[in-house]
Amino acid sequence: MRHAANLLFALLFAASLAVPAAQAETPRVPTSRAEIGLSFAPVVAQTAPAIVNVYAEKTVQQRRNPLMDDPFFRRFFGGPGGPGGPGFSTPNERVQRSLGSGVIVGAAGIVVTNNHVIDGADEIRVSLADKREFEAEIMLRDPRTDLAVLRLNAKGQSFPAATLGSSDDLAVGDIVLAIGNPFGVGQTVTQGIVSALARTQVGISDYQFFIQTDAAINPGNSGGALVDGAGRVVGINTAIFSRSGGSQGIGFAIPADMVRVVLQSAMSGGKAVRRPWLGARLQKVTPDIADGLDLPRPVGALVQSVSPGSPAAKAGLKTGDLIVGVEGLEVDDPDAFGYRFATRPLGGEAKVKIIRQKREMALAIALEAAPETTPRDEITVTGRTPLTGATVVNLSPAVAEELRTVDLDKGVVVTAVAEGTPADATNLKPGDVILEVNGETISDTGDLARATRQPSRVWRITVQRGGRKVTAMLPG
């Protein structure tokens, strides 16, 4: 009898649970206009006035067509003496125009955009959402992050400014809006989600730690805003992955925390972004390295070398240490560490978590800028040499940090190579360190100037690139 009563109670209890479950599955009809009219319009209204169009123009030299020396061809194809008449642009020059977007982040007319939008521009104009247009000047360019800060030439005027949020507050799946000027059609808003965070294998800039989104981003969106549900700018749209040139649902934005670092440097009057200097070379942990270190998975940044006297050396970091965290945040690879360390403010210390011989340790690394221990003494190589057209400076920790090259006590590093010069034909690249010329050790730019002053039928040049030394024999 008791068994039957227990069975009856169990059936009644199960039935009581089934009723709410069935009710929960019933579709609910919206009960108000507010529920029907769910919209992102308030977020757009708050942010859109601060999103601008950026127009950049630059004049580039192009190779002269020898046919243009003939008055007959000039008459029919333009140029001085042709249909263009006096004042017609020289046929050796061409005007390039680029279109991008930007975000006003300061009421005095401070605009953040992508460096590639304004790179090399002779003239920059900014158009606001209310149709006003202003000329702009460059306050700071940072090619390493592909960011630039502009100032509108409109003294005494106040502008609507967007609020910078924290990209660390984002989570995969959060709804975001992309606002910009795709294809020059005018201000456009697209909506999507955060598809991924901390993307490091993108290859866009030195600091790779991007927000990935499926909000449509197209050409012209570069420099525009990625906005969260509270109307805060959490990223600057910078690139897309596309096989067609249009949006395919994979866009990347520079995190707002990195934008803030560049903006602070610009507002302080700096000509370059000052970031903390580690003074150590790091490498990615491969599955084989993880097995050798007895790690459960390939994660972290392995210390390859430590520069004497650097903050890393002073803190006790050693070759073979595995960095796995910064200030309580995990580090998956060297790019992730580079971002986390670079976005820490100068001054004070950063707590870095490492694994040394299977033991976890914490080190306090000073947040100091790389010092310029040697004057740069910039020169451009001239004369009949394979290095002609290369601009070089003396190495120092500051220069090595800027160029992401090897950190040597002495040496000469290439900072630029003019197009069409012998150095360009030699395939010399910015970041290459020139070690020897015709058997002479090159310790500074003065040594290089002397070594290239004497003519030679054959040049023997030793260069270090990416940790590897290469010696080449080149004709004079």
Which residues are known catalytic residues?
A: 116, 146, 222
For residue 346, give the DSSP letter.
Answer: S
Token pair listed for 164: 């910078």
Alpha carbon of residue 150 to chain centroid? 17
**Local structure of 52: helix, strand or coil:** strand
Q: Establish how many alpha carbons lie within 13 A of residue 205's alpha carbon, considering only the half-sphere containing its beta carbon.
A: 24
What is the C-alpha to C-alpha distance for residues 237 and 345, in angstroms, rounded to an integer?
24
Name the residue among 262, 265, 293, 281 with its Cα closest to residue 337. 281
Going from the C-alpha of 113 to that of each of 94, 98, 139, 410, the distances in angstroms are 24, 13, 11, 36
What is the C-alpha to C-alpha distance for residues 212 and 104, in angstroms, rounded to an integer?
22
Side chain identity, residue 350: A
User: Contact, 112 vs 263, CB < 8 A?
Assistant: yes
- In DSSP terms, which residues pair with 413 in a beta bridge? 393, 433
User: Contact, 424 vs 450, CB < 8 A?
Assistant: no
**Local structure of 369: helix, strand or coil:** strand
Question: Strand 322-326 to strand 349-356: parallel, antiparallel, or no bridges (unpaired)?
Answer: antiparallel
Count CB neighbours of 52 within 10 A. 31
Count CB neighbours of 211 within 10 A. 27
What is the C-alpha to C-alpha distance for residues 472 and 423, in angstroms, rounded to an integer?
13
Going from the C-alpha of 212 to that of each of 44, 72, 239, 348, the distances in angstroms are 20, 56, 10, 32
What are the backbone dihedrals phi and psi of residue 320, each rounded to the nearest 5 degrees, phi first? 100, -15
What are the backbone dihedrals phi and psi of residue 23, each rounded to the nearest 5 degrees, phi first? -65, -35
Computed from CA positions of residues 323, 324, 325, 329, in that sequence, does the dihedral angle turn out positive or negative?
Answer: positive
DSSP characters over 391-432: EEEE--HHHHHHHT----SS-EEEEEE-TTSHHHHTT--TT-
- In DSSP terms, which residues pair with 57 in a beta bridge? 97, 123
What is the C-alpha to C-alpha distance for residues 306 and 321, in angstroms, rounded to an integer?
10
**Local structure of 35: helix, strand or coil:** helix
